[in-house]
Amino acid sequence: MAEYDFPEDLTAAQLEMHQTRAEYRALCETLPWLAVPQPGYERPEGHWYPFRREESPGYTEEQAAEEARLRGRMLELSIQIGTHPYWDTLSGPAVVAARSALKHVHDTPADDADAA
């Protein structure tokens, strides 16, 4: 992989994106399956894909606020990263390679060895 001289603010934004995305995933694992209250349902046994979903109590105000905050922060960070002036210093396939490299700039050597 080619080495890039990413600006500090760009790598900091990418690190925050990784952290925020991890927080968001962890939160989503604790949330009900639907944001609003919804009765459960079941597809009948003879259906091509039987399925059962328990009742959803919906999100609490706190859960909804935290989900919206994290989702909004990920959007802000994606805009900040995607429109950073650094990308104007590259052209062609180098832009794609650099964007891919940025996603892994905080990987540790042990992470790289596991991926290989």
Spell out the domain ranges in the chain: 8-115
- Look at phi and psi of residue 108 and say left if phi exceeds 0, alpha if psi is from -120 to 50, else beta: beta
Helix (H) or strand (E) holding 15: helix 8-30
Report how far Cα 13 is from the mean position of its chain's Cα atoms: 13
pTM of this prediction exceeds 0.85: no
pLDDT in tens, the chain (116 residues): 458 999 999 999 999 999 999 999 999 999 999 999 999 988 877 777 778 889 999 999 999 999 999 999 999 999 999 999 999 999 999 999 999 999 999 987 765 555 55
- Rounded (10°) CA dihedral 104, 106, 108, 113: 0
**CB distance 62 to 56 below 8 Å:** no
